[in-house]
Amino acid sequence: MLYIHRATCISPQQTFPEVDIEHLHIAADNKLKAIEPKYEGIPPGILRRMGKAVRIGVGAALPLLHHQQAPHGIIIGSANGGMEDCIKFLNQIIEYEEGMLTPGNFVQSTPNAIASQISLLSSNKTYNITHVHRGLAFENALIDAVMQVKEHPAQHYIVGAVDEISNYNYNIDFLGGWYKKEPASNIDLYTTNSAASIAGEGAAMFWVNSHPADALARVQAIDTLHSGNEEMVRQQIQKFINKQLLPGEKIDLLITGENGDNRLLKYYTAAETIAGNLVPVARYKHMSGEYPTSSAVALWLACIALQRNNLPAHVFKQAPAHQDFNKILIYNNYKGAQHSLMLVSKA
């Protein structure tokens, strides 16, 4: 069992350091870009050499390091890492004809640069790993954390996810039809009946262990699936719910990764149908945008819901009569091929 004790999030909304998600920040050019803080905990000489993915990942993790004992491991999920720096380095190879290259862009470009920078800044020499599995990178990082706390019940871990909007990846996904070509607002994201979504980026970090005392939330179960078959996805969701809920238990909130892409709506509709007509449905990608590890934002939002029993009206597909959440199901899919389920409950 994995218990979350602290959670931070740097996103396109006001989620860090203070949380105010009542008011939505508006997308520009079909992109929701992360609102970066001042990064007071990062030395200026190191900060100016960091790419954006590294900055927001380290920035989100530092408050966890400052308020707790040293973690026994740092586990990060990222589909692309600092891809923007990687492209800069590759361009330098051509520009300088494989001559004297500046190593900074290369060092910052690898996906594990985020976890390694967190370790370097905190002088942490423990377990350090990065999971790079596209739309399931964060879920695999969480599964890794679950295995670690089962093996080492007395230990604590930082687990999180980071991805940025790089020009390279944005252009590839835009040409692949995953981002809308027409101007789109995140406010109207769910009412536009068209293919594709809007781009997003962000970082979410969690301090986890196996101790229920003073925990914000409990990650009760995680499941993943690779499939484009709607019926197979439906069966997997039903099987997950049947396995995890005891007789008489119910889901109090369903958080879905609905993203305004009408090609993927069938999967989210299936999840809503299985959860039940009386279960409130919340959505978050009008806040974060679409990116491979956005499900980390959904988990952060679930922690907020369990802690405060109060979410803003704009996240709900249909506003519930009252907000009292004990068990939350998160369902997300990435490009219709990678599906994930997380059951989160009060500790």
- Give the model's pLDDT for residue 108: 59
Structural contact between residues 342 and 257, judged by C-beta atoms closer than 8 angstroms? no
Confidence of residue 291 (pLDDT cuts 50, 70, 90): very high
Mean pLDDT of 261-276: 96
- Give the model's pLDDT for residue 231: 97
- Give the model's pLDDT for residue 328: 98
Residue 124 CA, chain-centre distance (Å), reads: 24
Structural contact between residues 164 and 55, judged by C-beta atoms closer than 8 angstroms? no
List CB contacts of 171: < 8 A, sequence separation 6 or more: none
Please say if the pLDDT value at position 278 is more than 80. yes
The amino acid occupying position 347 is A
Give the helix ranges, DSSP H, for 165-247. 167-175, 230-244
The ranges of the chain annotated as CATH 3.40.47.10 are 2-209, 217-345
Q: Give dist(CA 302, CA 7) in Å, integer.
A: 10
- Superfamily the domain 2-209 falls into: Thiolase/Chalcone synthase (3.40.47.10)
Distances (CA, A) of 342 to 41, 179, 346: 32, 26, 13
- Give the model's pLDDT for residue 234: 97
- Give the model's pLDDT for residue 81: 66
Q: Give dist(CA 190, CA 194) in Å, integer.
A: 10
Angle between the 265-275 and 230-244 helix axes, to the nearest 10 degrees? 30
Q: Give dist(CA 198, CA 183) in Å, integer.
A: 9
- Give the model's pLDDT for residue 95: 74
Give pLDDT tens digits for 144-201.
Answer: 999 999 999 999 999 999 999 988 889 889 999 999 999 999 999 999 999 999 999 9
- Give the model's pLDDT for residue 109: 57
Please say if the pLDDT value at position 82 is more than 60. no
- Give the model's pLDDT for residue 102: 67
Domain 217-345, CATH number (from 3.40.47.10, 3.40.50.360, 3.90.79.10, 2.60.40.420): 3.40.47.10
Confidence of residue 84 (pLDDT cuts 50, 70, 90): low
Look up the pTM and report it. Answer: 0.94
Confidence of residue 104 (pLDDT cuts 50, 70, 90): low
Among 21-25, 76-80, 87-91, the minimum mean pLDDT is found in 87-91
Residue 187 tokens, joined: 């406010």
Q: Give dist(CA 38, CA 40) in Å, integer.
A: 6
Mean pLDDT (the chain) is 92
Please say if the pLDDT value at position 235 is more than 70. yes
- Give the model's pLDDT for residue 112: 84
- Give the model's pLDDT for residue 68: 67
Distances (CA, A) of 322 to 252, 278, 283, 319: 11, 12, 17, 8
Count of positions (residues) in the chain: 347
Give pLDDT tens digits for 297-345.
Answer: 999 999 999 999 999 999 999 878 788 999 999 999 999 999 999 999 9
